[in-house]
Structure 1
Amino acid sequence: MRLAIFDVDGTIVDSAAHIVDTAQYVFRQNELTVPTDADVRGIIGLNLEVAMLKLCPSLSENEAEALAQDYRDHFNNKIENGLIEEQLYDGAIATIETLAGQDETFLGIATGKRLRGVERLFKDWGFGHHFHTLQTPDNNPSKPHPGMIETAMSDTGIDPNKTVMIGDTSYDMAMAKSAGVKAIGVNWGYHDHSTLRENGADLVIDHYHQLIDAIDELTG
């Protein structure tokens, strides 16, 4: 048996434009220096409170929490008014369905996205039933802390040497290394090939059709 754990933003769904727009809006509304597109893309995958502190280190923890809540409120308001439609990357659902059809493979999620957002994505696209464990910031520390992966392995009973993390950022790769599992970087997300390798990726792939072979290679 083996466990394949997926990140969400930048790995399954391309949500960068909406994340950048929302972050810049709340910084502008709070009369703070507005981060660049690149700066915002660089923090995707972190818990929002941690992300806000990275974008503006002068914030207190309470101010970062308030800014994160402003972000959530604005993002959710856009969703409720039909202004956000998150698009999946080509091949994502087909690959997930193929893996889910393998008796030896458990699937998991480990994401900086809140549970509410993950459940909305599952409802919109109808593939949530394939996942056996779902780890979000609602009940875990922020990446790159290994807690999400450790809980996913505990939920499924899979050992580290049969577990692989699939993600698009340095935080995913560092989290995998901290948890003692293999890491596959995807080159279609928000951190580049070199950054993924430097932070512990065992393999970096360019297309979803390469993922199953990569998982086979790393989990034996």
Structure 2
Amino acid sequence: MTHTHGFDLIVFDLDGTLVDSQHTIVAAMHDAFAAEGLPAPEAEAVRRVVGLSLDAAVARLLPRDAGEAYVARVAEGYKTAFTRRKAQADDSEVLFPGVREVLRALDAPEVCLAVATGKSRRGLVSSLDRHGLAGHFVSLQTADDAPGKPHPRMLELAMADVGAGPGETVVIGDTAFDMEMARTAGASAVGVGWGYHPAAELTSAGAARVLDSFDELPPALAALRPRTA
């Protein structure tokens, strides 16, 4: 299949873009705070920090005077709670509609697909394996490898992995952090409207377009960067 878009590298966020994991994320954060005798953060506040590295996300939810050691302890508590909840039979993490079909359509020899996420590598690999998506991606960038979003380093590493330039690269994500990462690196950005930040915020942060459904992605890419002969 020859694609009508001219992007060489398409970099996807995970949580809120490919995978609907907000129930597990919010519940695990509540568990971590409860273990420290802290009141649970509002679910909306937790959703607002999804996409950041874990320590940065926890730091935003804790009081401003929380020290680094305390942040690290709560973050470890979150990891433990998240792993425990993921192992439960009623874990509700699911793919968003159309993800599997669109990834299959975009996956081609002339196009490289990658993931850039605030998750750990272990968490990312576990999620991709669970949903049978690992084979689509040639580059996996996580908070283990680089500073968290919106810092551009994860995106720069993905581009270096496949030899793609910023003008040949597009980021697909649901948060302003994803859009800012792309903009800082000189890449294009497309937002998705089913994640954790509103469409207006994605556009303000640099999204060329915000999708209402995943099947809108291929034509949106073609409109952004048409393939030339």
Considering Cα pairs closer than 8 Å and 6+ residues apart, tell me whether 1 or 2 has the greater RCO.
Answer: 2
Report matched runs for 1:1-220 at 5 Å.
Answer: 2-56=8-62, 57-100=64-107, 102-220=108-226
Amino acid at match of 1:137: A
Asked if the contact 1:144–1:174 (Cα under 8 Å) also holds between the matched residues in 2, the reply is yes
The 2-side partners of 1:192 and 1:130 are apart by 28
The structural deviation recorded for 1:103 is: 2.8
Match for 1:198: what amino acid?
Answer: S
Cα pair 2:24 2:86 within 8 Å, conserved: no
Distance 2:133 2:69 in 1: 36
Q: TM-score, normalised by structure 2?
A: 0.92
| Alignment-mate amino acid for residue 196 of structure 1 | L
Provide the C-alpha distance between the structure 1 equivalents of 2:100 and 2:87, rounded to a whole number of angstroms. Answer: 25
The CA deviation at 1:214 is: 1.3
Deviates more, 1:115-124 or 1:185-194: 115-124
Q: Give the aligned CA root-mean-square deviation in angstroms.
A: 1.2
TM (norm. structure 1) is 0.96
Distance 2:91 2:164 in 1: 36
Alpha-carbon deviations, 1:89-118, whole Å to 9, x = none?
Answer: 010011011110x33211000011111111
Q: Which runs of 4+ in 1 moved over 4 A?
A: none
Deviation at 1:58, TM superposition (A): 2.3
Q: Could you tell me which amino acid in structure 2 is paired with residue 202 of structure 1?
A: A
What is the aligned residue count? 219
Tell me if structure 1 keeps the 8 A contact 2:141–2:158.
Answer: yes
Percent sequence identity over aligned pairs: 38
Q: Tell me, in whole angstroms, the C-alpha distance in 1 between the residues paired with 2:76 and 2:127.
A: 20
Shift of 1:83: 4.2
**Structure 2 unmatched runs, 5+:** 1-6
Shift of 1:71: 0.3
8 Å CA contact 1:45, 1:112 repeated in 2: yes
Partner residue of 2:4?
none
SS class of match (1:118): helix
Unaligned runs of 5+ in 1: none
Give the C-alpha shift of residue 119 in structure 1: 1.2
**Distance (whole Å) between structure 1 residues aligned to residue 38 and residue 92 of structure 2:** 27
SS state at 1:72 partner: helix
